[in-house]
Amino acid sequence: MLRAFRNIRAGEGRDTWTGFVCLLVMIGSHSILETARDALFLASIPAARLPWMYIAIAVLSLMVTQLQQRASSSMAGRSALSLWAFLAAVVTGGFWLALPLLGEAGLYALYVWSGVLTTLVLVHFWTLLGDLFSVTQAKRLYGLIGAGSVIGAIIGSGLAGALARSYDGRHLVLAAALGFGLAALLPMLFSNRGDLGGAGKSEATPSIADNLAFVARSPYAGRIALLLVVAAVALTFGDFLFKQTVAASVPQAELGTYFASIYLVLNSVSLLAQLLLVSWVLRRFDLSTALSILPFLLMAGAGAMLAVPGLVAAIAIKGPDGALRHSLHRTATELLFVPLSEGARRRVKAFIDVIGQRGGQALASGVILGLVAVGAPGRWVAVLLGFSAALWLGLAIALRRHYLDLFRGRLRSLGHYHQQFPDLDVASLENLIAALDSQNDDEVLAALEVLEREDKVRLVPGLILYHPSEAVVIAALDLFARVRRPGVIEIVDRLLDHNSPRIRAAAIASRSVLDPNERMLRRRLTSEESADVRATIMINLIAGGEIVGSDAKSAIDAVLRHGKAEAKIALAEAIARRKAAPLCPVLVSLASELDIEVRRAAVRAMGVMGDSQLVPTLVDLLADERLRAQVRRTLQHLGDDAFQALSEALADQALPRGVRWQLPRALTYFDPQPAADTLLSHLPDERDGMVRYRSIRALQRLVTGSPDVALEKRTLDAAILNTVERSYRYLDRELTLRRGVDAEPERKRPGFELLAKMLADKRQHCVDRLLRLLGLRYPREDFSLISRALSGNSRVERESGVELVENALSQPLRDAVVGLIDEMPDGERLHLGRHYHQPLGLDYEGLLRHMLDSSSVSVQDLTAFHLGELRLAESFGERLNEIRSERRSSDIDRALELSLQGR
């Protein structure tokens, strides 16, 4: 219970305690009425008549539900609850006055009224709470609020027992009426939020048929209704067995005292269950498991009744019912309704409750009446109890998937799923071909790129070489050379005399690939006026073996040293077109040129060459942001040699960060399973946070693209453990800093703000990595969608994300992750993460000393900066000097300088 008190957060106390007290008074009053009802009824009427009562309650409850919906549609939620509680007090008081006049008919009516009463009041109470609290709030607070029902039942049973010793059962009815009168005053203590769900509704109240159709259309609501029907059937069988056995075993004069005593004991056990079991079960297990406990115990009780019939077996059946129905089972059942939208919840909750509880009672009662009519032995009811409890258990287990699907459905609108490009249809191809005639160069170039990617270059007309745009003509010449399309040679020959030197150079290069002609090249070399075109001709002659030895070397060196960018690009393209392997070192030289277009041409040529000696250069080029995508595709083209080089580079912590940060993404371009194995195997030992993060993202990419990729769970679990520990370590440091500033406000300097912000950012980055790792470890749940929901502005979506996380994980990981993602006080977060991190227990200066030993350079520097502004650097001088001897840092220097000034 103490933990339940701690679960109340700012702004929740008023509604929580009002709900607790309100439920206590209502259930206490109902317990008194229930004791009076059972004692009066069974003392005068045979227990075999009870099934008729259940049927009457079911029929009347349906009528009352429809009436209640119509009457409540124009009232605020709090006002409606007060009205129905007041009506309960008036009608119950009327029974106290009328029972002596009505005789047995009054007892029948009282029994039916006590059952209908819960439909009038308790269903509306829980609907109001559903409007006040969200899913995550309900899971924290319903246990405490539900304790009010158990405590109320105990108080009610105790009062009933005490009153029964001095007064007859009729006066217990008066006590119940007074209790309901008190309950009518309490709902107005709820906050005004309780009015938002019920006030001012102008829509027509749905009929029973409309509600039934709505439930039938909703897979989730329909399964709740079926679950509650079967549960009510089982509980009715159990209640009948219990009361029949008691009526046969206990003298009539002692029934009132006996029922009061047994209900007091059961309600006491229920209170213990509420205090010790409910929160623990809901925190440790999913909702489906919580719903499965009562039917499992009822199955065991039915077995006991079949094996050893008698009062003990009857109590073994009534015990779990009395202990858990109004504690664990009621709390878990109410949680089933909370995820529904407000409109759906208000529309179907009362209906499902009535159909479930009363409809199930009526169905079981009809069966019992049938058994009595044919003279079947009582053990058949025990058999039916066992069967219905087993069915109830199965439905509870199966409901889990539909419960979670409701939350997934809430988040699905956030999803932006990446899809592969679909195959081009005829209409798309027509649009692409039409785009080739566009006057917009970008459209034409894009169409050429798509047609090449889709292997449809044969559809590109050769006449595109007459396009007025220089960029388009050059792109088409390169394209035709890459795909070796000899049909365009005649048009290419006409371009050899084009006015543009760039087009002439590109035409010569393409011509040399499509149909090499050294005699034509030499002739052109002597007549060509453009130096760039002559360089292109010279390079093609060298690549074709027409110029060799020192002449070739001199010509290439001249281009590398003095040639323009166009000549160097032509050199790279010529080497690629001729696949001149001996000239691979030239490509390496070109890859280091300052001009980006030259480097691009060199990378393209490396991809065409496919030579493994080029791999180290390509790995280094990953650091170049403008070449990165092209380099990744080129490495992919180079195959196993490139994959091996990337794997070795990932293990090399000495490589420049700019290169290492790009390695995980580059590995995703290769066979998914080996790439995933490589990334995962390096993850536990990786010291660079950015490489860890990008490795996780790369694993996500691989798994998304290839769902059959298998990841080693043990390694993932170790990575998850490390990330959770790191997250709580950052949280602990941040809280210690803030407590230190609260204690001594003069510590609140810019350095503190920077340190606190950096620690919060690092924790958030850890949480992001954690959610990605959980998505890899538990692929059935879409953690990317959950992550977007948690970072969004919608409270409903955030709470849906938390609920899905809770149901995906088991303890103690569940608590630790929820502590990082849910909205709660930071102190409570540390408590939830206690299995993964023990607080450092350091004072402010002790924490700063601890942070100077961090492996993070940024943490060290900001700590030194803060020490300097607090004039504390002198006390830390030895450590600061050690850091300065290892590396230079202006923050370290400044801290030491300020310490000298302060002497």
pLDDT at 459: 85
Measured CA distances, 604 to 505, 576, 614, 793 (Å): 18, 8, 12, 45
User: Which tokens in the block code for residue 216?
Assistant: 């039938």
Assigned domain for 102 exists: yes
Beta strands in 569-708 (DSSP E): none
Q: What angle do the packed helices 122-132 and 330-337 form, to 10 degrees?
A: 60
Residue 876: pLDDT over 70: yes
Q: Read off the pTM.
A: 0.68
Each residue's pLDDT tens digit, 280-295: 787 778 888 889 999 9
End-to-end CA distance of the chain: 56
Alpha carbon 26 to chain centroid distance? 38
- Give the Cα separation of 17 and 502 in Å (integer): 83
Assigned domain for 692 exists: no
Assign 416 a pLDDT band (cuts: 50, 70, 90).
Answer: very low
Long-range contacts, stretch 445-454, CB < 8 angstroms, 24+ apart: 445/471, 445/472, 445/475, 448/472, 448/475, 448/476, 448/479, 450/424, 452/479, 452/482, 452/483, 454/423, 454/424
Q: What are phi and psi of 841, to 5 degrees?
A: 65, 30
Assigned domain for 157 exists: yes
Tell which of 388, 412, 436 closes a domain. 412
Each residue's pLDDT tens digit, 38-75: 888 877 888 777 778 877 877 787 777 666 666 555 55
- The answer to whether residues 290 and 328 touch, using CB atoms and an 8 Å cutoff, is yes
Assign 419 a pLDDT band (cuts: 50, 70, 90).
Answer: very low
pLDDT at 208: 65
Q: What is the CATH number of the domain that holds 300?
A: 1.20.1250.20
Tell which of 380, 412, 444 closes a domain. 412
pLDDT at 254: 74
Residues 6+ apart with CB under 8 A from 648: none
User: Which tokens in the block code for residue 496?
Assistant: 């050899």
Assigned domain for 124 exists: yes
- Give the Cα separation of 396 and 393 in Å (integer): 5
Each residue's pLDDT tens digit, 381-402: 899 999 999 999 999 999 888 8
How many structural domains does the chain have? Answer: 2
User: Which tokens in the block code for residue 493?
Assistant: 């020959």
Closest C-alpha to 181, from 110, 83, 38 = 83
Assigned domain for 602 exists: no
- Give the Cα separation of 844 and 858 in Å (integer): 19
Assigned domain for 545 exists: no
- Give the Cα separation of 854 and 707 in Å (integer): 38
728-746: average pLDDT? 91
**What value does the CA radius of gyration of the chain take, rounded to a whole number of Å?**
40
More confidently predicted of 246 and 397: 397
Half-sphere exposure of 382 (CA within 13 A, CB side): 22
User: Which tokens in the block code for residue 778?
Assistant: 């538990």
Closest C-alpha to 50, from 371, 324, 299, 382 = 371
- Give the Cα separation of 792 and 415 in Å (integer): 12
Tell which of 412, 428, 460 closes a domain. 412
Average pLDDT, the chain: 82
pLDDT at 200: 45
DSSP state of 683: T
pLDDT at 277: 80
pLDDT at 396: 92
Residue 172 lies in domain: 12-412
Cα dihedral sign, 118-122-123-124: positive
Assigned domain for 385 exists: yes
Assigned domain for 508 exists: no
